[in-house]
Structure 1
Amino acid sequence: MSAQAATALLEPGSEHASPGGQYTYRVLGPCCRLFDREELPWPCCRLAWRSKEPSWRRVGRRFVADLASRRCPTYAVELLQPGARPTRTVITLFTERLGSELQEWWYSKLPSSLDQVNREPPSRAQK
């Protein structure tokens, strides 16, 4: 089973069924899943430590894009379950892959991506 290519964002407020159909969710908006480097083991998770292994000193940014979800769209959502309050959470749609243009907007490392003009993905900004 191959992943579908996501070429546009899901609209905020739209409701969708999960891939397995077990629950429904309302999209609040797109977000990126970050990995917290402070949660890395110190100095290493192995019992035998050798001096030639890489150092885990915390140099650089604390939060970095999660490599596992970098190619898939992630949304802040409300899970809608019958008879229960909506629960806010973050889900990553691993059944979809971001198109190259959308992935560059979502997880860009370029300094120009911080510009206010880039608040919307390229396809929405042109509308």
Structure 2
Amino acid sequence: MTSAALERHNVDSLLEHGSIYPSEGGQYSFRVIGPCCRLFDREELPWPCSRLAWRSKEPSWRRIGCRFVADIASRRCPSYAVEILQPGTKPTKTVLTLFSRRLTAEVQEWWYSKLPRSKEASNYLP
């Protein structure tokens, strides 16, 4: 592989709703429904582990903090609600994270922001 093939592409804009793209390997195509963020559900942690910071083993009823947090594995990459289009099968709706792409700092702040301005209705595009 060349260094250009290993280089990650920076993302500074969103994929348009309804647009169709091939997958990285070319096995299928997908239609973009819209951008979304992947959340990690702390309730899915195995018992008796209850914290993201594994300090001690506590019963599940003593969990602290937010239940849903941004998934750190996909926080720097764009995720989209998509419809997988495979020849000869029924289209399937799922969430697809494009790990070969990296969000620029400005777009990442918009995508996973904790700032109060991010909740304004006018902030629907980066």
TM-score by length of 2: 0.84
Matched, 1:67 2:72: yes
Match of 1:53 among 49, 52, 55: 55
Percentage of identical aligned residues: 63
Moved more, 2-11 or 52-61: 52-61
Equivalent residue, structure 1, for 2:122: 117
Uncovered stretches (5+) of structure 1, i.e. residues with no partner: 46-51, 122-127
Shift of 1:54: 3.7
Equivalent residue, structure 1, for 2:8: 3
For 2:10, give the aligned amino acid: A
Please give the alpha-carbon distance, in whole angstroms, between the structure 2 residues aligned to 1:59 and 1:53.
12
Match of 1:29 among 25, 34, 41: 34
CA contact 2:49–2:56 (8 Å) conserved in 1: no
Please give the alpha-carbon distance, in whole angstroms, between the structure 2 residues aligned to 1:55 and 1:97.
35
Give the RMSD, CA atoms, in angstroms.
1.8
Q: How many residues align?
A: 115
Matched, 1:83 2:88: yes
Shift of 1:112: 2.1
Uncovered stretches (5+) of structure 2, i.e. residues with no partner: 1-5
Matched, 1:100 2:119: no
Shift of 1:58: 1.9
Equivalent residue, structure 2, for 1:124: none
